[in-house]
Amino acid sequence: MPNSAKKAAVLEVIGVTKQFRGKIAVDCVDLQVANGEFLSILGPSGCGKTTLLRLIGGLEKPDRGRLVLNGQDITNLSAHKRNVHTVFQRYALFPHMNVFDNVAFGLRCKKIHENETRSRVEEMLELANLKGQGHRAIHTLSGGEQQRIALVRALVNLPKLLLLDEPLGALDLKLRLQLQQELVAIQKRVKTTFVFVTHDQQEALNMSDRVAVMNQAKVEQIGTPNEIYEFPKTLFAASFVGGINRLDGVLRIDEGGRCICEVEGLGGFFVEPPTEYRQAGVKGLICLRPEKVTLFSRRPSTIENVVEGTIRSQSYLGTHTQFEVLIKNGGVISVFQQNTQKLAKKVFQVNDKVFMGWQASLSHFFSYQALK
Amino acid sequence: MSTIRRWASGFGVFLIYVFLFLPMVVLVALSFNNASRGTQWQGFTFSWYEKLSENQAILEALSRSLEIAVEATLLSAFLGLCVGISMSRTHGFRKTILQKLATLPIVLPEIVQGLSLLCFFVWLTIPLGEFSVVIAHTAFGTAYVATLVKARLTAMDPLLEEAAADLGATQSKILVKITLPQLWPAMVSGMLMVFTLSFDDFIVAFFTAGVGATTLPLKIYSMLKFGVSPEVNALSALILCASFLLVTMAFWNQNKRERKFEI
Amino acid sequence: MSIQPKTFRTTPFSIAAWIWAASLVVAPLLYIVSISFLSRGPYGGVQSPLTLTNYTRMTDGSMALTLLLSLGRSVALAGFSTVLCIFVGFPLALFLVFRAGRWRNALFFLLIIPFWTNFLIRTYAWMVILSDNGWLNHVLEILGLGPQYLHWLFTPQAVLLGMFYNYLPYMAMSLYVSVEKLDTKLLEAAADLGAGPVRRFFQVTLPLSVPGLVAGSIMVFIPSLGEFVIPDILGGGTNLFVGNLLAQQFLTVRHWPFGSALSVILIILIGACLVALEKVTKGHSEDLIA
Nearest chain B CA: its distance from C109 CA (Å): 7
Does residue C5 sit at the B interface (CB-CB below 8 Å)?
Answer: yes
Question: Which secondary structure element, helix H or strand E, spans residue C39, and what is its range?
Answer: strand C39-40
Q: Mutating which of C178, C181, C193 best tests the A interface, going by the most A Cβ atoms within 10 A?
A: C193
Tell me if C196 and A109 make a contact (CB, 8 A cut-off).
Answer: yes
In a domain, B251, yes or no: no
Chains that touch B (3 or more CB pairs under 8 A): C
pLDDT band at residue A1 under the 50/70/90 scheme: very low
Nearest chain A CA: its distance from C120 CA (Å): 41
Contacts of C198 in chain B (CB under 8 A): none
In a domain, C32, yes or no: no
Is A266 within 8 Å of A328 (Cβ atoms)? yes
Contacts of A78 in chain C (CB under 8 A): 191
Report the CATH number at residue B75: 1.10.3720.10
For chain A, domain boundaries: 2-240, 245-371
Give the number of residues written for chain A.
372
Contacts of C193 in chain A (CB under 8 A): 80, 85, 105-106, 109, 153-154, 157
Tell me if B39 and C263 make a contact (CB, 8 A cut-off).
Answer: no
Structural domain harbouring B98 = 56-230
* Spatial separation of the C-alpha atoms in residues B182 and B161, rounded to whole Å: 11
Structural domain harbouring C215 = 71-288
User: C1 versus B87: which is more confidently predicted?
Assistant: B87
The candidate with the shortest Cα–Cα distance to B118, out of C256, C271, C20, C34, is: C256
Mean pLDDT of chain B: 86
Which ipTM score applies to this complex? Answer: 0.84
In a domain, C242, yes or no: yes
Is C134 within 8 Å of B41 (Cβ atoms)? no
In a domain, C7, yes or no: no
Question: What does the pLDDT average to over C224-234?
Answer: 87
User: A249 versus B259: which is more confidently predicted?
Assistant: A249
CATH of region A2-240: 3.40.50.300
Per-residue pLDDT at C287 exceeds 50: no
Predicted confidence at residue B37, as pLDDT, reads 67
In a domain, B261, yes or no: no
Whether B64 and B110 share a structural domain? yes
What are the tens digits of pLDDT across the range B202-211?
999 999 998 8
The partner residues of A366 in beta bridges, in order of sequence, read A285
Is A268 within 8 Å of A260 (Cβ atoms)? yes
Contacts of C246 in chain B (CB under 8 A): 111, 115
Task: Identify the closest residue of chain C to A94 by CA–CA distance.
Answer: C186
Nearest chain B CA: its distance from C86 CA (Å): 13
Is A286 within 8 Å of A249 (Cβ atoms)? yes
Of the candidates A95, A96, A109, the beta carbon closest to that of C193 is on A109
Q: Mutating which of C19, C20, C246 best tests the B interface, going by the most B Cβ atoms within 10 A?
A: C20
What are the tens digits of pLDDT across the range C163-213?
999 999 999 999 999 999 899 899 999 999 989 889 999 999 999 999 899
Whether B6 and B81 share a structural domain? no
Phi, psi (degrees; rounded to nearest 5) at A366: -115, 130
In a domain, C101, yes or no: yes
* Spatial separation of the C-alpha atoms in residues C145 and C134, rounded to whole Å: 15
User: C270 versus C284: which is more confidently predicted?
Assistant: C270
Mean pLDDT of chain A: 90
The candidate with the shortest Cα–Cα distance to C6, out of B7, B127, B159, A351, is: B159
CB within 8 A of A322, min separation 6: which ones?
A: A290, A314, A315, A334, A335, A336
Predicted confidence at residue C46, as pLDDT, reads 72
Task: Identify the closest residue of chain A to C204 by CA–CA distance.
Answer: A94
Tell me if C189 and A78 make a contact (CB, 8 A cut-off).
Answer: no
Nearest chain A CA: its distance from C175 CA (Å): 18
Tell me if A94 and C183 make a contact (CB, 8 A cut-off).
Answer: no
* Spatial separation of the C-alpha atoms in residues A182 and A131, rounded to whole Å: 16
Report the CATH number at residue C80: 1.10.3720.10
Tell me if C192 and A154 make a contact (CB, 8 A cut-off).
Answer: yes
Distances (CA, A) of B187 to A336, B180, B184, C9, C21: 61, 9, 5, 20, 19
Predicted confidence at residue C235, as pLDDT, reads 84
Tell me if A95 and C290 make a contact (CB, 8 A cut-off).
Answer: yes
Is A282 within 8 Å of A365 (Cβ atoms)? no
Chains that touch C (3 or more CB pairs under 8 A): A, B
Q: Mutating which of B36, B37, B41, B89 best tests the C interface, going by the most C Cβ atoms within 10 A?
A: B89
What percent of chain C shows pLDDT beyond 70? 91
Contacts of B217 in chain C (CB under 8 A): 118, 120
Q: How many CB pairs under 8 A join B and C?
A: 234
How many domains does the structure of chain B reveal? Answer: 2
Does residue C120 sit at the B interface (CB-CB below 8 Å)?
Answer: yes
User: A234 versus B43: which is more confidently predicted?
Assistant: A234
Predicted confidence at residue A102, as pLDDT, reads 94
How many domains does the structure of chain C reveal? Answer: 1
Tell me if B111 and C27 make a contact (CB, 8 A cut-off).
Answer: no
Residues A245-371: name the CATH superfamily.
Nucleic acid-binding proteins (2.40.50.140)
Whether B197 and B100 share a structural domain? yes
Per-residue pLDDT at A66 exceeds 90: yes
What percent of chain A shows pLDDT beyond 90? 66
pLDDT band at residue C290 under the 50/70/90 scheme: very low
Contacts of A106 in chain C (CB under 8 A): 193-194
Of the candidates C6, C9, C117, the beta carbon closest to that of B239 is on C117
Contacts of C176 in chain B (CB under 8 A): none
Task: Identify the closest residue of chain B to C98 by CA–CA distance.
Answer: B6
**Cα dihedral sign, C243-C248-C254-C257:** negative
CB within 8 A of B188, min separation 6: which ones?
A: none
Task: Identify the closest residue of chain B to C165 by CA–CA distance.
Answer: B20
Is A152 within 8 Å of A72 (Cβ atoms)? no
Predicted confidence at residue B257, as pLDDT, reads 64
The structure's pTM equals 0.81
* Candidate from A63-67, A195-199, B121-125 with smallest mean pLDDT: B121-125
Tell me if C256 and B119 make a contact (CB, 8 A cut-off).
Answer: yes
In a domain, B243, yes or no: no
In a domain, B38, yes or no: no
